Amino acid sequence: RVQLLESGGGSVQAGGSLRLSCAASEFTSLDLNNCKGWFRQAPEKLRERVAIIDPRTGTTDYADSVKGRFTISQDNAKITTFLQMNSLEPEDTAMYYCATTYGYGACSTAQYAIWGQGTQVTVSS
């Protein structure tokens, strides 16, 4: 039933680091090669796509606001998708969600239809 399990959020000071994890359930029937993405939404703001990865090729893409600071990656089995967050800023404070596509397609334009429960990241000055 729960296909994506997120963890790793917390509260840190500006300049600190966190690593978020998104694990595909052992019971999922979804193709692990489907696109994976990290999204975030802060209160009173629109949802923002942070980073995506194509498990088939390893190709990644990032929002301009996190380039050079965040890194999306996967374990060798493609079960877990990570978001390494360095040099965190107060503007990074948001609820972070992991999501995957239901089928195949270009990851940059695909529909991310399956979502995790979210994990809160809070960065203080």
pLDDT at 1: 62
Q: pLDDT tens, 23-57?
A: 988 766 678 889 999 999 999 999 999 999 999 99
Alpha carbon separation from 74 to 35, 44, 54, 83 (Å, rounded): 11, 31, 10, 9
| pLDDT beneath 70: ranges in the chain | 1, 27-29
pLDDT at 31: 84
Q: 22, 16 in Cβ contact below 8 A? A: no
Spatial separation of the C-alpha atoms in residues 87 and 20, rounded to whole Å: 14
pLDDT at 32: 86
Provide, rounded to the nearest whole percent, the portion of the chain with pLDDT above 70: 96
Q: Copy the structure tokens of residue 114.
A: 């399956």
The C-alpha angle with vertex 72 and arms to 14 and 33, in degrees rounded to 5, equals: 155
